[in-house]
Amino acid sequence: MHLKYSLYTLSLFAFFPQIWSRDTSSEPKDVYVALGSSVELPCVDGRNGEISEWRINGSFLVSSPALRLHNTSLDDQGVYTCHDSNGEIVETVRLQLGYPPSLPDVHCWSPSYPLKALCSWSLPQDPILPTHYISTYRLRDDVCSCQRQSEQDRQCVLEELDLFSNVPYLVNITAVNALGSASRVLPVIFEDIVKPDPPVNVKVTALPGKKLHVQWAPPPTWPDPVNFPLKYKVQFRWGNANADSIMGPIESESMVRSGVMPGRTYHIRVSVMDHLGHGQSSEWSDTVNITLPRS
């Protein structure tokens, strides 16, 4: 005999929404419940209404047609079966506990202006349950999907953005699971989120006459640095007191610093910014150290 597809009564004690998925197959029914809330698992006997007991993972739990759990914790997860007086299974429920998604923290930046931008996100609280994401961005009425490499990826790519738009793009990252969804909508002006990756291949050599020659390469993710110029800053640190000095901004990919002290160790790193000053400087490159011989 087929059970009628129906939504069961949810517990009035629930602090959070609960979602039931129920079908007529003998597969376990997944029931998702918010941690800490209460849940009632009803059992309807298709034959004569004689319910004998509920079992958890096969062990006896209670003699009652309805099973009530209060203040649920992860220890309550498992496979619950409801049995008739002959011991036959009437109902199988897989109880899964977790939280509805919290509002995602979203961060967007462009290491390759003006070609594309990236957004990445995280959830402040682990929802425990399987959670997926919908990522879109739009300018006025044009909605685009923000592409990800895989479903699990928490980073997406925005392409073919309008430059110097006077209205922001609206990036919408929505987290969805069986208990609910949460959308963060972040307004983004392309020029404001420019942030190159750090310069690479920093090399330092000592030159005669108390000089250091520093050279580096532009970040590989930046589009052709000739067409989209960059400006660099070079930091020199020495001694225990973290004395430092910063040279730049300069547009070339090398520089000479004079007046360095024999016997001293210098720690050198480079950062880079869009030539027109859009957005932010990169993080610092790797540090290169050089100890000058005592003369």
Ligand X SMILES: *[C@@H]1O[C@H](CO)[C@@H](O)[C@H](O)[C@H]1NC(C)=O
Q: Residue numbers of the site for ligand X (CB under 6 A)?
A: 56-57, 71, 73, 75, 77-78, 134, 136, 172, 174, 183, 185, 267, 287, 289
* 129/194 with CB nearer ligand X: 129
Tell me the C-alpha distance between 171 and 105, whole Å: 12
- DSSP of 152-164: T-SEEEEESPPTT
Backbone φ and ψ of 208, nearest 5°: -60, 155
Helix (H, G, I), strand (E, B) or coil at 101: coil
* 81/112 with CB nearer ligand X: 81
Cis check: omega of the bond before 249, within 30 degrees of 0: yes
CB of 133 to ligand X, least distance (A): 9
Residues 90 and 46: beta-carbon distance below 8 Å: yes
Give the count of alpha carbons within 13 A of 66, CB side only.
10
CB of 276 to ligand X, least distance (A): 31
Nearest-CB residue for ligand X: 78
CB of 150 to ligand X, least distance (A): 19
Q: Which of 43, 27, 44, 33 is nearest to 11 (CA)?
A: 33
Tell me the C-alpha distance between 266 and 269, whole Å: 10
* 99/113 with CB nearer ligand X: 99
CB of 135 to ligand X, least distance (A): 9
Tell me the C-alpha distance between 32 and 10, whole Å: 12
CB of 287 to ligand X, least distance (A): 5
